Amino acid sequence: MRQSQYFLPSLKENPTEAQIVSHRFMLRAGMIRQSASGIYSFLPLGLKVMQKIADIVRVEQNRTGAMEVVLPTLQPAELWQESGRYEDYGKEMLRIRDRHDRPLLYGPTAEELITDIVRNAVKSYRSLPLNLYQIHWKFRDELRPRFGVMRGREFLMKDGYGFDLTEAAARETYHRVFVSYLRILAEMGLRPIPMRAETGPIGGNLSHEFIILADTGESQVYCHKNYLSRLTPGAVDYQDAAAMAGLVADWTRDYAAADEAHKPAECGVAAADLIAARGIEVGHIFYFGTKYSAPMKAVVSNEQGHSVPLHMGSYGIGVSRLVAGIIEASHDENGIIWPVTVAPFAAHVINMKSGDALCDGLAGDMYQQLSAAGIDVLYDDRDERAGVKMAESDLIGIPLRIVIGPKSAAVAEVEISARAEPQKKISLSSAASVDFITKALATAKAISGKICRV
Ligand code: P5A
């Protein structure tokens, strides 16, 4: 993509409304624009990152055997009256009436809607287990929307819903999703810490939040320092229930709790081993048994032919929140440092002197060759000062940078550096650099998920 043609409305000044680094950089890098409090448009650069995140979620969910659906954003109020949550949800729920004066709501979550589908379609235990998820917009009329897409009112969530015959089977599903969340978040370069949590309006009594540590996090969290050095699970067999249970046991052995669930007297961790920090909740999973299936009569016949309510859990990841969360975890004072797996482009070719025949020739050639090698390249071909180009490149944080200036062009070489380590540079001929960059990106992808940031 040529930057001269790309819609990247960057800002030079720090927007005054942005209190945290991710909000500031997302606005400045032209990733998002606010349209109303807590409601944002995603522009091309922001959308690319969000789609990469969604794809990582999708691939790993499909591996667990979950299936993707899309449910409507508008839901009929009757379903929520059936479960008893219509009144309970309070002012966070956006209530709407259609032209026939029928009450609708913009879904803040979808336990009722999916339960309705499953109760009508599934009659026998033979159709279980079933795990359905979507990656779709939610609306919560938050009291204090803030920090950009971190706490929005409209936001993109991956919400999954598990249906099982028994509590034991539902726990197996819970374990499988638990492990998949560790792998999904590690793939994005994050170090997730599963923490015991309160269940709030979703319900049930078994729940974990997946927290990443960041100074700007909204939650106060407590965990054993062991979590800072854990390696996320490598290749896993999701069908191996014992292995999944073992991994969950391993990951919950050490103490970790979000503020509301933290009981200092019971935590039993020596002060020197306990970390008290700020964290961002990027995922939250729940097992709530028959909380929805019983009142909504979502039943199946079991092996004995008896009608029994389904055992359910729900599983959420904040997809739009993660865009900001990753920035909080990975940046420097000049801008974002995207992990390769979620970066909007893999390489940034910068022509330091557009209009100079040699520079234009070599930079254009690099752009062509890298694109032909299947690398997603942003090519800064704009008629801008070199300093402006470099500052913007730092801001938008593409992992690899290929700089072409008059000096390097004169000897037919390009200068390659990584956004994460700008002081290390190597010069290569343009032919050798395509091979080098392809290998560097492949290596970075291969180790993501194993090397995590704190
Ligand atoms: C689980 C899936 C649920 O809604 N029902 C369906 C369950 N859980 S949750 O914890 O309330 O939300 C899941 C994740 O969504 C993100 N999130 C938000 N992101 C941006 N802005 C918000 N206002 C917001 N609220 C929730 C979080 O990452 C949360 O873990």
As a whole number of angstroms, the distance between CA 408 and CA 194 comes to 49
Report which ligand 1 atom has the smallest distance to the Cα of 157. Answer: 15
Whole-number percent of the chain with pLDDT over 90: 90
Reported as a single tens digit per residue, the pLDDT across 184-241 is: 999 999 999 999 888 888 888 899 999 999 998 999 999 999 999 998 888 899 999 9
Q: What percentage of the chain's residues is helix, strand, coil (to nearest 5)?
A: 40, 30, 30
As a whole number of angstroms, the distance between CA 341 and CA 353 comes to 30
What integer pLDDT is reported at residue 266 of this predicted model? Answer: 85
DSSP-derived pairing of the beta strands 154-164 and 311-318: antiparallel
Pocket of ligand 1 (CB under 6 A): 109, 140, 142, 151-152, 155, 157, 159, 202, 281-284, 286, 314-316, 318, 320-321
Question: In the predicted model, what is the mean pLDDT of the chain?
Answer: 95
Cβ atoms 292, 310 nearer than 8 A: no
- Which pLDDT tens digits describe the chain residue by residue (454 residues)? 999 999 999 999 999 999 999 999 999 999 999 999 999 999 999 999 999 999 999 999 999 999 999 999 999 999 999 999 999 999 999 999 999 999 999 999 999 999 999 999 999 999 999 999 999 999 999 999 999 999 999 999 999 999 999 999 999 999 999 999 999 999 999 999 999 888 888 888 899 999 999 998 999 999 999 999 998 888 899 999 999 999 999 999 999 998 888 988 888 999 999 999 999 999 999 999 999 999 999 999 999 999 999 999 999 999 999 999 999 999 999 999 999 999 999 999 999 999 999 999 999 999 999 999 999 999 999 999 999 999 999 999 999 999 999 999 999 999 999 999 999 999 999 889 999 999 999 888 877 655 443 3
- The CA radius of gyration of the chain, in Å to the nearest whole number, is 24
Q: E-assigned strands of 140-238?
A: 154-164, 193-196, 206-213, 219-224
Pocket mutation for ligand 1, best pick of 106, 321, 326 (most atoms within 8 Å of C-beta): 321
Q: Which residue's CA is the closest to the ligand 1 atom numbered 15?
A: 318
What integer pLDDT is reported at residue 454 of this predicted model? Answer: 31
What integer pLDDT is reported at residue 202 of this predicted model? Answer: 82
Report which ligand 1 atom has the smallest distance to the Cα of 209. Answer: 30
Q: E-assigned strands of 269-346?
A: 274-289, 299-301, 307-309, 311-318, 331-332, 335-336
Reported as a single tens digit per residue, the pLDDT across 141-153 is: 999 999 999 999 9
Report which ligand 1 atom has the smallest distance to the Cα of 142. Answer: 23
Q: DSSP 3-state assignment of 434?
A: helix
Q: Which residue's CA is the closest to the ligand 1 atom numbered 12?
A: 316
Q: Which residue's CA is the closest to the ligand 1 atom numbered 4?
A: 109
Report which ligand 1 atom has the smallest distance to the Cα of 280. Answer: 28
Question: Residue 6 belongs to what H/E stretch?
Answer: none
Q: Which residue's CA is the closest to the ligand 1 atom numbered 21?
A: 151
Write the DSSP string, 332-350: ETTEE---GGG-S-SEEEE
Residue with the two structure tokens 């899309």: 70
**Quick count: other Cβ atoms within 10 Å of Cβ 293?**
23
Cβ atoms 430, 414 nearer than 8 A: yes
